[in-house]
């Protein structure tokens, strides 16, 4: 009896150790990710929120000012202007990106379309290229003196353009470049959504004599609603965080026509050394993005996605 009890106790010990190892294994694998997120995301976020209540120039002492910097932001005309520019950039990129990427996805999803994989790779290529590299290439293309566009325009009777040097053209050009670069990523998402639609739905519609437009309007578009909501949310969030494209291509100009909010935060923090006010602006931007994200979540719940 005693020997059998010892055997049972050992079995229980082995089983308990095995369960402990099994429970610890997932945490061991995700521990590096948790540390990285904590060190590079959570701690800087908390530090930025705390810093927004202080006046700090990275040299002198930190002076507590409470909510005064938030109040000052709402009276800051340049802050309102930069938010307006950001809205124009984000929502100006939204509709053409969704429309063109969906159109290309529908075409490239057709069985009859030749060289589908080649075109998918070509459209996706700008996505994997750094925005810094993309910006410098477009700077050369849009150069009024050295770029190839003005000579082409002169041959068809159009006068030389300043492009990024023109306050009326700079922001639309940045929007076009953003649409071009983000097209491939959203195209892949839409392709995945299209390939997840049951083919029997299309077969039933064809048997009933539905036209291509009716099939798209009644089957494809409703079935892609969750994908579209995801694409729209990502485009809006990324649009509100634009910085490197503006920093390299226009520097916020000309005449601050491309002065987006993140660029303004960067200027306040690293050029004027007003880190407290820059942190307050960053918190306000976070709140705007959070509201948009919650709105997206509510919309998803409304359609049960």
Mean pLDDT of the chain: 86
Q: What is the mean pLDDT of residues 165-194?
A: 92
Domain match, 194 and 101 both: yes
Confidence of residue 21 (pLDDT cuts 50, 70, 90): low
Whether 148 is covered by a domain: the verdict is no
pLDDT tens by residue, 47-97: 999 999 999 887 878 889 989 999 999 899 999 999 999 999 999 999 999
**Range of weakest confidence among 4-8, 78-82, 190-194:** 4-8
Domain CATH code at residue 125? 1.10.3720.10
On whether the CB atoms of residues 231 and 105 are closer than 8 A, the answer is no
Q: What is the mean pLDDT of residues 252-259?
A: 92
Q: Which of 76, 69, 89 is nearest to 260 (CA)?
A: 89
- Residue 80 tokens read as 């309102």
Domain match, 11 and 119 both: no
pLDDT tens by residue, 106-116: 888 887 778 77
Query: What is the span of the domain harbouring residue 213?
Result: 74-130+180-302
Q: Cα–Cα distance between 92 and 198 in angstroms, integer?
A: 33
Q: Cα–Cα distance between 206 and 216 in angstroms, integer?
A: 12
Q: Cα–Cα distance between 134 and 258 in angstroms, integer?
A: 18
- Indicate whether 260 pLDDT > 70: yes
Rounded (5°) CA angle 237-302-227: 50
Whether 142 is covered by a domain: the verdict is no
How many domains are there within the chain? 2
On whether the CB atoms of residues 258 and 170 are closer than 8 A, the answer is yes
Q: Cα–Cα distance between 49 and 43 in angstroms, integer?
A: 10
Say what the pTM is: 0.85
Which residues are within 8 A (CB) of 32 and not within 5 positions of it... i.e. 6 or more apart? none
Domain match, 8 and 116 both: no
pLDDT of residue 16: 58
Token look-up 């579209």 returns 228
On whether the CB atoms of residues 194 and 106 are closer than 8 A, the answer is yes
Percent of the chain with pLDDT over 70: 91
Domain match, 16 and 109 both: no
pLDDT of residue 245: 93
Whether 216 is covered by a domain: the verdict is yes
Q: Which of 82, 255, 90 is nearest to 167 (CA)?
A: 255
Whether 149 is covered by a domain: the verdict is no
Q: Which of 118-127, 153-162, 296-305 has the highest mean pLDDT?
A: 153-162
**60 in helix, strand or coil?**
coil
Q: What is the mean pLDDT of residues 144-169?
A: 90
Q: What are the angstrom distances between the C-alpha of 22 and each of 17, 32, 35? A: 8, 18, 21
Q: Cα–Cα distance between 20 and 10 in angstroms, integer?
A: 15
Find the helix or strand (DSSP H, E) in which 134 lies.
helix 131-141
Domain match, 241 and 295 both: yes
**251 in helix, strand or coil?**
coil
Whether 258 is covered by a domain: the verdict is yes
- Indicate whether 291 pLDDT > 60: yes
Q: What is the mean pLDDT of residues 227-243?
A: 90
Domain match, 116 and 80 both: yes
Domain match, 209 and 278 both: yes
Domain match, 185 and 46 both: no
Whether 140 is covered by a domain: the verdict is no
Task: End-to-end CA distance of the chain: give it in Å, rounded.
Answer: 60
Q: What are the angstrom distances between the C-alpha of 268 and each of 3, 110, 260, 261, 275? A: 76, 50, 12, 11, 7
Whether 190 is covered by a domain: the verdict is yes
Domain match, 92 and 191 both: yes
Whether 239 is covered by a domain: the verdict is yes
Domain match, 115 and 234 both: yes
pLDDT of residue 76: 92
pLDDT of residue 11: 53
- Indicate whether 173 pLDDT > 90: yes
Q: What is the mean pLDDT of residues 118-136?
A: 86
**195 in helix, strand or coil?**
helix
Domain match, 213 and 276 both: yes
Domain match, 190 and 283 both: yes
């Amino acid at each position: 009896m005693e020997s059998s009890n010892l055997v049972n106790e050992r079995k229980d010990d082995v089983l308990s150790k095995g369960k402990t190892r099994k429970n610890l294994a997932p945490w061991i694998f995700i521990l590096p990710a948790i540390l990285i997120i904590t060190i590079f995301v959570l701690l800087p976020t908390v530090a930025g929120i705390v810093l927004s209540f202080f006046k700090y120039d990275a040299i002198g002492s930190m002076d507590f000012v409470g909510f005064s910097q938030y109040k000052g932001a709402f009276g800051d005309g340049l802050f309102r202007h930069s938010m307006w520019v950001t809205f124009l950039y984000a929502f100006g990129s939204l509709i053409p990106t969704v429309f063109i990427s969906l159109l290309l996805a529908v075409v490239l999803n057709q069985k009859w379309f030749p060289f589908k994989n080649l075109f998918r790779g070509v459209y996706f290529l700008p996505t994997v290229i750094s925005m810094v590299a993309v910006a410098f290439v477009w700077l050369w293309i849009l150069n009024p003196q050295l770029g190839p566009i003005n000579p082409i325009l002169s041959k068809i009777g159009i006068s030389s353009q300043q492009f990024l040097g023109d306050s009326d053209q700079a922001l639309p050009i940045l929007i076009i470049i953003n649409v071009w670069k983000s097209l491939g990523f959203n195209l892949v998402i839409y392709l995945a959504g299209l390939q997840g639609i049951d083919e029997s739905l299309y077969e039933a519609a064809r048997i009933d004599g539905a036209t291509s437009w009716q099939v798209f309007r009644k089957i494809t578009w409703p079935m892609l609603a969750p994908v579209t909501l995801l694409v729209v949310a990502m485009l809006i969030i990324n649009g509100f965080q634009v910085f490197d494209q503006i920093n390299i291509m226009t520097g916020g100009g000309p005449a601050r026509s491309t002065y987006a909010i993140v660029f303004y935060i960067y200027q306040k923090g690293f050029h004027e050394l007003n880190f407290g006010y820059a942190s307050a602006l960053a918190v306000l931007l976070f709140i705007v993005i959070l509201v948009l994200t919650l709105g997206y979540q509510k919309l998803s719940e409304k359609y049960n996605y």
